[in-house]
Amino acid sequence: MTDRFVLRSVGEAVATLTLNRPEVLNSCNRQMVDELRAAFADAAADDGVRAVLLTGAGRAFCAGQDLAEAVPPAGEPTPQIGDIVANYNALIRAMRGLEKPVVCAVNGVAAGAGANIALACDLVLAADGASFIQAFSKIGLVPDNGGTFFLPRLVGTARATSLMMLADKVGAAQAAEWGMIYRTVPAAELMTTARALAVELATQPTRGLGLIKRALNATWANDLDRQLDVEEALQREAGGTADYMEGVRAFQEKRRPRFVGR
Ligand code: T3D
């Protein structure tokens, strides 16, 4: 598949993925979602990639579904809405299933599917001028891309309900204050800061970070008893990694550890 709408580059063990349809605020057409899902699958398969950085080209992060594709001009075939959503679901599953840290640099507005793709990342940084809009209700739709899963868990049901029903725009500062995202960054520093964070993560015990992600994925569906079992199983796995040995040795030898991600 050609990378027409998602630019990809790999450096310092970080795969940088840039949504690239700036003329329509990086709204998602079918091919862009396919390319993005393929990029996450490739990141999972490539041992040389230990973290992912996702951002958007131009002034927006992503304005959600390309509405020109969802409801095309008369005479052109209209895609089944269920097929569009199934394709997004495959993307969100690929993102949450990728056992490597995913940093999101929200460089501008993140609306509809775009907002929820951002919330599916592990560490979300937003430029101070960026914003999040659960735009779905304004066009008669329901939040998708995991929005009804992530948002109430991040900000609580009362705030999630108001954001989903009123489609209010939430500025980056408020999103951070509400716990929707990790932090805001001055716009001019966003990419440097997000990249430094992704590179730093890529030098860490990334197998262990992937297992933390697996534990967090599991926690929402589990009671304490089951989650303790999950932790035990994951700790056995983490305890078998070379990075665990290296971490302990480095501590004992009072030196910086050299983690390899295994
Ligand atoms: O089938 C399905 O739809 C199922 C899947 C649903 C998932 C979803 O994501 S539903 C939600 C879809 N997204 C939206 O409803 C958001 C629509 N966009 C906006 O509300 C606004 O554009 C923004 C608030 C995001 C930004 O506003 P603003 O004033 O900064 O920019 P703008 O002037 O509205 O947009 C700039 C251009 O981008 C403009 O094109 P033009 O006039 O310069 O040729 C606009 O049409 C285009 N654009 C923005 N969003 C979309 C889009 N084109 C296609 N699809 C979009 N989503």
Residue 261 counted as domain residue: no
CA of 66 to the centre of ligand 1 (A): 7
Do 190 and 218 lie in one domain? The reply is no
The pLDDT of 137-162, averaged and rounded, is 98
pLDDT at residue 76, as a whole number:
86
Strand-pairing partners, residue 223, are none
Does the Cβ of 132 fall within 6 Å of ligand 1?
no
pLDDT digits (tens, 9 = 90+) for 49-69: 999 999 999 999 999 999 999
For residue 1, pLDDT beyond 80:
no
Residue 153 counted as domain residue: yes
Confidence of residue 8 (pLDDT cuts 50, 70, 90): very high
In total, how many domains does the chain have?
2
Do 38 and 107 lie in one domain? The reply is yes
Do 183 and 219 lie in one domain? The reply is no
Mean pLDDT of the residues in the chain: 97
pLDDT at residue 141, as a whole number:
97
Does the Cβ of 112 fall within 6 Å of ligand 1?
yes
CA of 138 to the centre of ligand 1 (A): 12
For residue 259, pLDDT beyond 70:
yes
Do 151 and 224 lie in one domain? The reply is no
The pTM for the full model equals 0.97
Do 242 and 194 lie in one domain? The reply is no
Nearest to 62 by CA among 87, 27, 30, 105: 27
Q: What is the CATH number of the domain that holds 23?
A: 3.90.226.10
Do 192 and 224 lie in one domain? The reply is no
Do 63 and 80 lie in one domain? The reply is yes
The pLDDT of 163-184, averaged and rounded, is 98
Do 116 and 104 lie in one domain? The reply is yes
Residue 40 counted as domain residue: yes
pLDDT digits (tens, 9 = 90+) for 72-127: 888 888 888 999 999 999 999 999 999 999 999 999 999 999 999 999 999 999 99
Residue 216 counted as domain residue: yes
Last residue of a domain, one of 179, 202, 225: 202
Nearest CA to ligand 1 atom 46: 24
Does the Cβ of 56 fall within 6 Å of ligand 1?
no
Do 224 and 130 lie in one domain? The reply is no
Enclosing domain of residue 141: 6-202
Residue 259 counted as domain residue: no
Confidence of residue 36 (pLDDT cuts 50, 70, 90): very high
Residue 260 counted as domain residue: no
